[in-house]
């Protein structure tokens, strides 16, 4: 039997992918499953973006790309960050990556080694934990419960920092909770970070333009530019522009970090698709008016789903301010039995029973380091979401 490197045993398939695969298997058997497990926009990539990629291919822009990304795209990212956050940013401060996930991988692999700790506010996207473990580090989860709006509290951050802490990961708007950090909340976290100059910060802003009502996106450097020598800001086109399959993200940070992250990328994948970069450039520099329209559609979906969930027995749901998820608490359903005879002992039991008996795919909160919750993606049509809520309601009402 082959003995693989230890790092292989430190990771596992993300629950979101596992649940989506199970849903597809049931669909293949002829079951009508509504899948709300993946975080992928249901809107199409804008037409002008697709056209730009086509034109790039036709003019022969198909050769090996620069390791750090094309000059036009890095310039567009720098200009965007300067414009939106008032932080003077140069193209050389930017690294274009194969999706936001590689940006996370590059940063963590650059910083984290054996015995290093990484603070992750929970609930959190599972990819952070998996990559930290892959690098040999130790994830340190800081609970951010529903009663605090799923927002990291400064005193909790201070209590979690140790001499071994290497990195703090911030992801707001959040996957899975949809929580948004206010300027005041970020300012309070920055004040804690000033006391610990050995701690780097990765600010994952991938959902930055998916905001509802009066919520506004604030990034850490916007409120604490004095921390610039140890903050990396990450984003990309996947969520905002419905370009998940194009695999274009970026990191913005100090020169030493960009250089290190570029070396990781050079070793792992080299540069990023020239066609994808042409598409991303068109996304950033082209029309932006449709973004507000899409955010409004997500907000309408959020309102419908949260209202419905809070009317169901055993469920309470916080109203998120951004992203396209809701993260309801299902504590009131624990200990009950489904019509099929299953006892709901955990949010994992709830999610699997809901899939197989209620015909709705969601993801258990344990996958995001906070139970008893489930994550529901609202990135599908409103009629389909309403039908899903009716099925969830019937499932909850049938528990005994």
Q: What H or E segment, with its residue span, contains residue 234?
A: strand 231-236
> What is the CATH code of the structural domain delimited by 6-44+290-397?
3.90.1150.10
Residues of the chain with CATH 3.40.640.10: 64-285
Spatial contact of 264 and 110, defined as CB atoms under 8 Å apart: yes
Task: Label residue 333 exposed, middle or buried (CB < 10 Å: 0-12, 13-18, 19+).
Answer: buried
Can you give the length of the chain in residues?
A: 400
Rounded to two decimals, the pTM is 0.95
Per-residue model confidence as pLDDT tens digits over 360-386: 999 999 999 999 999 999 999 999 999
Residues of the chain with CATH 3.90.1150.10: 6-44+290-397
How many Cα atoms sit within 13 Å of 105 on the Cβ side? 18
Q: Where residue 21 falls among pLDDT bands split at 50, 70, 90?
A: confident
Residue 208 has pLDDT above 70, yes or no: yes
**CATH class given for the domain over 64-285:** alpha beta
Spatial contact of 80 and 97, defined as CB atoms under 8 Å apart: no
Per-residue model confidence as pLDDT tens digits over 95-147: 999 999 999 999 999 999 998 999 999 999 999 999 999 999 999 999 999 99
Beta bridge partners of 119: 140, 168
Query: What is the per-residue pLDDT for 16?
Result: 74
Query: What is the per-residue pLDDT for 13?
Result: 67
Residue 270 has pLDDT above 70, yes or no: yes
């Amino acid at each position: 039997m082959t003995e693989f490197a230890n790092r292989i045993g430190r990771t596992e398939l993300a629950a979101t992918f596992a649940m989506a695969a199970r849903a597809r298997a049931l669909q293949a058997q002829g079951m009508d499953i509504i899948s709300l497990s993946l975080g992928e926009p249901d809107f199409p990539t804008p037409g002008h973006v697709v056209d730009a990629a086509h034109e790039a291919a036709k003019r022969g822009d198909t050769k090996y790309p620069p390791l750090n990304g094309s000059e036009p795209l890095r310039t567009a990212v720098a200009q965007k960050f300067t414009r939106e956050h008032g932080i003077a940013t140069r193209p050389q401060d930017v690294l274009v990556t194969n999706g936001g996930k590689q940006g996370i991988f590059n940063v963590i692999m650059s910083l984290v080694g054996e015995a290093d700790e990484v603070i992750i506010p929970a609930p959190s996207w599972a990819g952070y934990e998996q990559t930290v473990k892959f690098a040999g580090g130790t994830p340190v989860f800081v609970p951010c419960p529903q009663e605090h709006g799923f927002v990291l509290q400064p005193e909790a951050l201070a209590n979690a920092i140790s001499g071994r802490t290497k990195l703090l990961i911030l992801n707001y708007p959040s996957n899975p909770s949809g929580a948004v950090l206010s300027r005041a909340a970020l300012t309070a976290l920055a004040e804690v970070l000033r006391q610990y100059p050995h701690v780097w910060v990765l600010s994952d802003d991938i959902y930055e333009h998916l905001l509802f009502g009066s919520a506004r996106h604030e990034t850490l450097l916007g409120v604490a530019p004095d921390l610039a020598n140890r903050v990396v800001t990450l984003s990309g086109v996947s969520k905002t522009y419905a370009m998940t399959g194009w695999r274009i993200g970026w990191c913005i940070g100090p020169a030493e970090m960009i250089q290190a992250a570029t070396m990781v990328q050079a070793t792992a994948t080299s540069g990023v698709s020239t066609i994808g970069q042409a598409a991303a450039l068109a996304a950033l520099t082209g029309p932006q008016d449709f973004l507000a329209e899409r955010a409004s559609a997500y907000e309408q979906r959020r309102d419908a789903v949260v209202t419905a969930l809070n009317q169901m027995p055993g469920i309470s749901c916080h109203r998120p301010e951004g992203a396209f998820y809701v993260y309801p608490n299902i504590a009131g359903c624990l200990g009950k039995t489904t019509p099929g005879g299953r006892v709901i002992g955990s949010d994992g039991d709830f999610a699997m029973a809901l899939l197989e008996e209620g015909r709705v795919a969601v993801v258990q909160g344990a996958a995001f380091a906070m139970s008893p919750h489930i994550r529901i993606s609202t990135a599908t049509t409103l009629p389909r979401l309403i039908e899903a809520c009716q099925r969830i309601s019937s499932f909850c009402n049938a528990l005994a």
